[in-house]
Structure 1
């Protein structure tokens, strides 16, 4: 690989070798015969280019083996072989991406025909960031889509929320559809595009389970022609980011502790940097080899991928192997076969020693290694830290890991009964197996209690789905009508078991060597079923008036016998205003469309398979006289039914000067009959019951702008900006209560944002004595409210703070530049207005309470009280303090807003004539960086958290990555 790269770099610096030259000239006109100035004419062999003048004339030198590519803003690109010295061509007008075909529901549409809020991210733009997590890849690229991750651990995932959370116990995640069927598996390197459906008209055909939006993933397919191979190879390294956070070293901690107690002088004998010992520079590898091609009747795409990301935390990594084979064949004139196979094998190694926790809290006073270089066993000898733990000692013997296999196989048939009548059957089997294992050696702190212990878990799940579709299209005059009917059934099965053992010899993790068990083995199996029927009518008139209507009825075995099914409907309409005669004279506006939609969707995910049933637990706790017994656990609710969402959307698409595309959407989404597990008093004999309760509303505004700033001879520049605002409000909860979780930090209260924080308000530090202050709100007999201040935590008022873990707006900004053979892209994403509760400050910013934990250095602008009259942010440190200064309050509630330089990529396209000398069709080398810079006031390592909880605890920080890659095809 190194020799190849050096060779490419050497070749790129050589003088170009010219083939037999041909002088080509001509004119470029539009479909009305008018000359077009400013059209870029590029010669593919040597990557040279020119532009047409005011009369549409061009002249360029090329070789006879070359191809000329004509492209310009507002016109469809055209390629012509250079076989003559005179080439005159006519370009067809194109409203940039408005003619692109998009996958929507069970069919495809041109972007200009849509009546709904839909966004598409190409595979190229999706994979600028190095990850196998879709949420990470989508972050900041689609308006209204908020992706977040609570951890930088490569074995962890990320969450996606579309247009705000609107449920309590059910899932907030979108419905995923891969290659036309619900569910499925994929590898990001095989993704052709990701389509995000945000409103009811778009999600209509999946409406029964699409209350949280739909993410449609389309994988790559083969194209007819010679077999083409391509290789993408990316290597690099990652380093944990620390943001504004810094821990104290030994001297800093000693000086701080000396202000409130007398630390042992011998503690300064060591200055261990536990953070540096816990984290490392980690390697990242991502390599993909593909082959594609075929005949006019049959095409194939085969891809293999190897992905290995070491965690920046030691003893932590993810290794993933994937294989995809997509085959399409026109078996007869009327019958088409599509067979898709995808396999994923994943090995995850988790850090088993609580290393992140110790990296933050272990004292620098304690040594990591003995004099002989072996890790210290912290349980013996002098150890100043509270937990007496050294992860380096434990990781010699312990492990925690998992492996999983996932196979998805699709068999799809499309049969044209008539030229305008198609019968299709789409069938999928999805099989998943997962095995986790942990071992704690008797020689370690973690394994000592049980004299060595091991844990093993296995789970298996399968999903079988068959979707049968009948589609009819008819065109008469200026009218076009498409009718679709679908019958679909999905069956799921899963089973699991787990076991644990103790009394294991040192270094022996096999269960057969154990002398006892820790807990009785557990196991069980589950199954579920969905049955769906739907119908849709899609109508257009004169290609400027569009209407769509659909109705969906779906049954789910998860709901009660009285209401197992529900019916949902969707309506949408749009009007291309620029096709009206009165718009012909408005030249600046190239395209203008008005959209509107209204509909209902549902949610059935995130609850148990048997949520409506009365359940019993059969376990050892209910046994009697050695015989198994059962105890009630869940009360039955035969009326339990679908969670429902009503959504209205108004949208406007406008294109200015054939180069600036703007989409604006305003929406309101109201979720009702929320699925909620209500806990019951112990006296009832049940732990709780699932009910349909409450109403939550989300309102928002989304804006997306794409601008082709420059399209010149050697230079192009394109910008995309998106921003989305969402406001959430709880309108109703159950049984006349005002809150769902009374007394919680986020109680979900009526009239408030469901993610609003509820806690005592921190009022700072009393300048007179250095004690903490909180607000105490009182009301007099006349109902007037007053705010007093108190040093006593129990007298502080718990109030709604007006601050929420949900951001006020989110978005992204990308710029793509090209200059001759060079390309440069930058991508920023931002989150604004959310508040993160920095839970971890309870431990390392506690004003003297925990002297046996390391402490953070004060952030910029923070100060500690030292003498009367000081205006400080932190109270006077007190050894073993008892005034609850570190208890829950707005003291640790921090602004989580941030602006992040998510990715920068610089690439070089090797000239075609050089590539051909290496028997390559094309070659590109590039360098990129992820998470290069973050602007934030947050005091922790990283402001990005799981926005559903809004907590930042002892966090595994995000990684900064530097990558080098090469893409070649041959």
Structure 2
């Protein structure tokens, strides 16, 4: 077996650079721990060289070495041991436990701390527990990984952005996404693209390879995030990438293949059911049966009864003909998702390197969808002298995303597959697409021919230098450059139903973004008796340049797709933007006897976004912790750790108003018909930062040295929210930017980690739950001093005293039944038994806009996850459940595909149970036509559904082969598993997690034919040698 493995890996070994040294003898031995038990995996390195090995399963090792050289034995949690090679060819080592090394290290802003000394709320994500999830993006891997971090997959389409929120939503116009910092450098996140097809955003984080990540920390409270000032209001995600280790060159190969199918698929009326429903509506309106089926509505409506050769309407209603549009747009076989990841790393104590190549390919479950990414990462660390360390890193990636005409669009492929009139064929007899019978478009042609293709190139590079003046005092400086090139082509040919009128339409958007950052910190630490002091001072200078180009033309000749081929120009714009931010910051930490900890932070940001009077924002923070379990009088075997924490801090936000939101802007215009310039934006010289003030109270408890419990209560108040304030028409402008809103987020977080069994059989369990109370507490006011609500999306409203983006509409109270007294005003509008009964809030006997109330909340009150991991010998089994509770969704798909939608639209199969005099025990209104149909279809609580769910997010069964079996330092793990296997929910749509409007702040919780999530079955191999 070993010979076969060596033969198979020869091509990969050719990629590695190895260094050889004169070999005078072979030394072997055994390494044990303090109890005399063998220690597998101990690194054995010849000091000053790259020659090294590892101990096997029984603690044995063998290495070629020269007499007089020094062997260094190192292992996590053990003190490093050096032994000089003498005449003996056998060196045995017993290692000692290093108590200090056993203390978990947590990455914080611009530094590291032990978990023991933390005074703030920081969640650490174990990359090992989420590395097998099938997702191309970092944010997807964070789902259910950290308490207080709400991550939602907005759509099941490949390459679309996730929504990430840390402790609620704090902004309306600005971003609510956290700041992502990779190896100390803030990176671009969020979404880009014209999204001319409607639907989901492109996720720029999908260009980063998750397998390059060593660890992730989430800074949740203001005290931990204040070191990032104006960037930290929404929390901070700190990402540390993998680095090379001293020792022999190692090669690691991770390969995974998976098969995806949609969890749910829409079921719709057959052709016969559609005509029966429509005939019922027309019979109610005009008194005659079968009007649509028999062509009784006029010459433009064919006689389907005769055309299909049915003997009676009953036979027609019981039959089906034509193509199934929903089934047609989905792939016939499971979509394949593949990952190949190859890493080469190693080096000596003087120089270490890490190189990774990754190839990710994901087919969509709907035809013509797909996401491909290739990335290359290289980093190196050099110890130039005893005082000077250098590090450098570069990541280059390119992704291609093929999208279909998506949600939030009446022409979307999924939308039209449901709504288009059934009974037609998708192809003509000559094999061309059939377009004439469709109202919007041929659904299959929409998916396959209409296109939105994007290509994203990304490069992130940085160079760092650390100089140690003394062991206690050093300076670290890092310069970084990030480049993002995004190109999107949206094309609708003249042969498409949508493209007939325009003769074909082509839009190309190019986004070119350059960001540079220079950060320098002075770092100091020292001990004075029982006191430990640490501190840092630093500054950062960052600039972002953006160049957006959009070109659109129509009348595209056959065989061409680019806008340059179009005969009719529609749009040609070029916008160049720039902003800069300059910051000073500092932090001081003080501890007494490693049981009392104090910390203070201050940051000052100067931004080009605001006017001179408000350009500088100050963001202070303070925190303290008391590790009571270190007191002699407290120590016991039950509460083995007990620490209380408190923190307070301020952070800021400047996003949401553009780079020139506070300034007067002028643009070129034409008037009667002379060209000239005119003011296009009113200035707002008093515009200032959104400010978030947060305090946090927490406790960290360990019971019996086995159960870790963390609790946090937070109160997060955002003031001076940046909004567009409406103006009177006489001003000549509609809005002006202003600080006119406040938002409150309060909540509780509990995390429990238990090591239930340890040994050959181990069982670890993790339960996390978070509660969130979100409320808008202030908004702009009118002349009378009343708060002015803001309507968003389809049914969202921003109003004081409500959750951000709460649903607003009529309150439905079932259906009118025969024998009930219907108000005269409604009778005059044609309302009868079987129609929707709305609550008349103002009691005037009619239903209108004044009867609207708040009818639901899109943000979940409760979120969490439950993860269990079992290990026995080489086997491991893990399962993770994710849940969201007490949240609603506005099912706008039902407004179109439900019984109250237009008669011309097909309907969901569930709508067959509509009201009739014989079927009154239902909440589905009877078929209606005309004004009453619109009355029944108003935004109301009928369309609000409970979107709470529990999901088996992932389950993985793996086996790790014994190192003794493989030999030569090899390791091999194989695993099988699945993602999104089971979902328990009452929601009637495709998936309760989706959101039509992507990452928008105040239009959340809407489903308008949004593609649901996929179920994945996967198999993977991790091999290292």
- The normalised TM-score by structure 2 is 0.83
- Counterpart residue number, 2:393: 340
- Counterpart residue number, 1:927: 976
CA distance, structure 1, for counterparts of residue 712 and residue 350 of structure 2: 42
- Counterpart residue number, 2:838: 774
User: What's the CA shift string for 1:300-359, capped at 9, x where partnerless?
Assistant: 111111111111111111111111111111111111111010111111111247312222
Contact 1:760–1:797 (CA under 8 A) maintained in structure 2:
yes
CA distance, structure 2, for counterparts of residue 853 and residue 40 of structure 1: 73
Q: Aligned match of 1:451 in 499, 503, 506?
A: 503
Q: Aligned match of 1:716 in 742, 759, 762?
A: 762
- Counterpart residue number, 1:850: 902
- Secondary structure, counterpart of 1:888 in structure 2: coil
- Counterpart residue number, 1:783: none
- Counterpart residue number, 1:288: 341
Shift of 1:91: 4.6
Contact 2:981–2:1015 (CA under 8 A) maintained in structure 1:
yes
Once the two structures are superposed, the pairs formed by residues 473-488 of structure 1 within 5 Å of their partners are 473-488=525-540
Once the two structures are superposed, the pairs formed by residues 463-862 of structure 1 within 5 Å of their partners are 463-519=515-571, 521-584=572-635, 586-619=636-669, 622-625=670-673, 627-713=674-760, 715-735=761-781, 736-741=785-790, 745-768=795-818, 769-778=833-842, 793-794=847-848, 797-801=851-855, 803-847=856-900, 849-858=901-910
Contact 1:43–1:66 (CA under 8 A) maintained in structure 2:
no
1:129 pairs with 2:150? no
CA distance, structure 2, for counterparts of residue 260 and residue 953 of structure 1: 24
Shift in alpha-carbon separation, 1:26–1:795, aligned structure 2, 3 A? closer
- Secondary structure, counterpart of 1:484 in structure 2: strand
Contact 2:952–2:979 (CA under 8 A) maintained in structure 1:
yes
Contact 1:928–1:963 (CA under 8 A) maintained in structure 2:
yes
Shift of 1:881: 5.2
CA distance, structure 2, for counterparts of residue 397 and residue 954 of structure 1: 20
User: What's the CA shift string for 1:845-876, capped at 9, x where partnerless?
Assistant: 033x42322211228xx942211782321122
Q: Aligned match of 2:434 in 371, 377, 388?
A: 377
- Counterpart residue number, 1:322: 375
CA distance, structure 1, for counterparts of residue 753 and residue 268 of structure 2: 43
Shift in alpha-carbon separation, 1:767–1:712, aligned structure 2, 3 A? same
- Secondary structure, counterpart of 2:841 in structure 1: strand
- Secondary structure, counterpart of 2:223 in structure 1: helix
Contact 2:120–2:223 (CA under 8 A) maintained in structure 1:
yes
Shift in alpha-carbon separation, 1:172–1:44, aligned structure 2, 3 A? closer
1:959 pairs with 2:1014? yes
- Counterpart residue number, 2:262: 240
- Secondary structure, counterpart of 1:445 in structure 2: coil
Contact 2:29–2:60 (CA under 8 A) maintained in structure 1:
no
1:416 pairs with 2:468? yes
Shift in alpha-carbon separation, 1:400–1:758, aligned structure 2, 3 A? closer
CA distance, structure 2, for counterparts of residue 665 and residue 876 of structure 1: 51
- Counterpart residue number, 1:14: none
Shift in alpha-carbon separation, 1:270–1:569, aligned structure 2, 3 A? same
User: What's the CA shift string for 1:603-659, capped at 9, x where partnerless?
Assistant: 11232000001123324xx3554x533333321011111110111000100111111
Shift of 1:392: 2.9
Shift of 1:708: 0.7
Contact 2:667–2:679 (CA under 8 A) maintained in structure 1:
yes
Contact 2:401–2:454 (CA under 8 A) maintained in structure 1:
yes
Shift in alpha-carbon separation, 1:242–1:608, aligned structure 2, 3 A? same
Q: CA RMSD in A?
A: 3.2
CA distance, structure 1, for counterparts of residue 211 and residue 464 of structure 2: 23
User: What's the CA shift string for 1:944-966, capped at 9, x where partnerless?
Assistant: 03384111111111111111111
CA distance, structure 1, for counterparts of residue 129 and residue 770 of structure 2: 20
- Counterpart residue number, 1:365: 423
Shift of 1:492: 1.1
Contact 2:31–2:60 (CA under 8 A) maintained in structure 1:
no
CA distance, structure 2, for counterparts of residue 78 and residue 128 of structure 1: 32
- Counterpart residue number, 2:236: 214
Contact 2:537–2:587 (CA under 8 A) maintained in structure 1:
yes
- Secondary structure, counterpart of 2:556 in structure 1: coil
- Secondary structure, counterpart of 2:140 in structure 1: helix
Contact 2:553–2:566 (CA under 8 A) maintained in structure 1:
yes
Shift of 1:452: 2.6
CA distance, structure 1, for counterparts of residue 109 and residue 491 of structure 2: 46
CA distance, structure 2, for counterparts of residue 493 and residue 347 of structure 1: 23
Which has the higher mean CA deviation after the structures are superposed, 877-886 or 255-264? 255-264
- Secondary structure, counterpart of 1:905 in structure 2: strand
Contact 2:948–2:986 (CA under 8 A) maintained in structure 1:
yes
Once the two structures are superposed, the pairs formed by residues 379-398 of structure 1 within 5 Å of their partners are 379=436, 383=437, 385-387=438-440, 389-394=441-446, 397-398=449-450
Shift in alpha-carbon separation, 1:40–1:718, aligned structure 2, 3 A? farther
Contact 2:320–2:423 (CA under 8 A) maintained in structure 1:
yes
Which has the higher mean CA deviation after the structures are superposed, 534-543 or 510-519? 510-519
- Counterpart residue number, 1:144: 148
- Counterpart residue number, 2:927: 877
- Secondary structure, counterpart of 1:246 in structure 2: coil
Once the two structures are superposed, the pairs formed by residues 39-78 of structure 1 within 5 Å of their partners are 65=61, 76=77
Shift in alpha-carbon separation, 1:473–1:778, aligned structure 2, 3 A? same
CA distance, structure 2, for counterparts of residue 649 and residue 609 of structure 1: 32
Shift of 1:510: 4.5
CA distance, structure 1, for counterparts of residue 728 and residue 354 of structure 2: 58
- Counterpart residue number, 2:960: 909
- Show structure 2 runs of 5+ residues with no match: 9-27, 43-55, 64-74, 84-88, 189-204, 283-289, 294-303, 309-315, 406-410, 819-832
CA distance, structure 2, for counterparts of residue 26 and residue 300 of structure 1: 29
- Secondary structure, counterpart of 2:211 in structure 1: helix
Shift of 1:672: 0.3
- Counterpart residue number, 1:405: 457
Shift in alpha-carbon separation, 1:610–1:86, aligned structure 2, 3 A? closer
CA distance, structure 2, for counterparts of residue 473 and residue 61 of structure 1: 40
User: What's the CA shift string for 1:405-426, capped at 9, x where partnerless?
Assistant: 1111101111112221111111
- Counterpart residue number, 2:994: 945
Shift of 1:518: 2.2
Shift of 1:464: 1.1
- Secondary structure, counterpart of 2:610 in structure 1: coil
Shift of 1:88: 7.3
- Counterpart residue number, 1:56: none
CA distance, structure 2, for counterparts of residue 27 and residue 424 of structure 1: 37
